[in-house]
């Protein structure tokens, strides 16, 4: 098995929304914002290569939306999914499994492309099985009013129509060493991969804990549909992560790709930050 960090782009969101009830005077000391209160966020995917299987976890925002849509999210930088795959000698057609933690537009927007002739949509990964948790698929196709804007039909329905959709119930093992648990605080059935590699466990955090700055318990996004559920899930996970020396791999942290945790008198905190490559070289 081999692991590759795959940048798919960068965007910005309101810092207040990202840190919920925590005041800006506190969160801005550990995660800076611009003059408009916007904070930089990555859309960092993870590629797991195991024999003939090439599993991509999430795929970013994609490129089929119009300028008005993208303008709300202040995309920046030169990174994109195809370019990042090309750097390791792959194309989207080489991906055998497209694993989606959930179907919000910044995680699943790259699932579907607009056809070159503009007549409709097609899978961006023509040879891949698309994996989504059953609970989340049902949730995303019957969205509540609060979350509806995050589920774009053009990112979801074409997956079903392609015949490439595969639903699962957690706990689930996609392949040996690639285990999945689901968490419901952010959105119902968000699927989080736990990957055993070289004696370590790497956890792809998605929107469960979006950045290293969100490790403290009260730091919960306003986007979470069940914040008290998030708090309970997070507290349990952090204890598990410390006890098992997990490496947390962050999809959205623009400054830190990974971290480990440590238990202190004041609670569980970030211990060491670095890239995945650095942690696995230790």
pLDDT above 90 for 119? no
What is the pLDDT, as a whole number, of residue 273?
A: 97
What is the value of pTM for the model shown? 0.96
For 203-240, what is each residue's pLDDT tens digit?
Answer: 999 999 999 999 999 999 999 999 999 999 999 999 99
Residue 118 has pLDDT above 80, yes or no: no
For 150-182, what is each residue's pLDDT tens digit?
A: 999 999 999 999 999 999 999 999 999 999 999
Total domains, the chain = 1
pLDDT in tens, 70-100: 999 999 999 999 999 999 999 999 999 999 9
Name the percent of the chain in helix, strand, coil, to the closest 5. Answer: 25, 35, 40
Residue 168 belongs to domain spanning: 2-281
List the structure tokens of 239: 């204890």
CB atoms within 10 A of CB 54: 21
211 closest CA partner among 149, 151, 266, 273: 273
């Amino acid at each position: 098995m081999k692991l590759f960090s795959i940048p798919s782009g960068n965007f910005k969101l309101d810092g207040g929304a990202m840190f919920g009830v925590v005041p800006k005077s506190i969160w801005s000391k550990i995660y800076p914002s611009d003059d408009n209160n916007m904070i930089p966020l990555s859309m960092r995917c993870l590629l797991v290569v195991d024999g003939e299987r090439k599993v991509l976890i999430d795929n970013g925002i994609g490129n089929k939306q119009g300028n008005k849509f993208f303008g709300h999210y202040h995309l920046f930088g030169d990174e994109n999914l195809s370019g990042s795959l090309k750097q390791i000698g792959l194309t989207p057609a080489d991906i055998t499994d497209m694993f989606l933690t959930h179907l919000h537009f910044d995680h699943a927007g790259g699932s579907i492309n607009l056809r070159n002739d503009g007549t409709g949509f097609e899978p961006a990964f023509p040879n891949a099985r698309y994996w989504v948790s059953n609970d989340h698929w049902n949730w995303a196709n019957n969205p509540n009013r609060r979350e509806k804007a995050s589920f774009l039909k053009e990112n979801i329905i074409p997956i079903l129509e392609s015949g490439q959709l595969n639903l699962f119930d957690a706990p689930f093992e996609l392949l040996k060493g690639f285990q999945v648990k689901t968490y419901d605080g952010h959105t119902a059935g968000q699927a989080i991969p736990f990957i055993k590699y070289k004696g370590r466990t790497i956890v792809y955090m998605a929107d469960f804990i979006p950045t290293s700055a969100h490790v403290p318990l009260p730091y919960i996004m306003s986007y979470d549909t069940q914040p008290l559920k998030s708090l309970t899930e997070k507290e349990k996970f952090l204890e598990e992560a410390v006890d098992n020396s997990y490496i947390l791999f962050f999809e959205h942290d623009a400054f830190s790709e990974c971290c480990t945790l440590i238990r202190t008198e004041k609670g569980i905190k970030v211990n060491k930050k670095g890239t995945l490559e650095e942690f696995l070289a230790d």
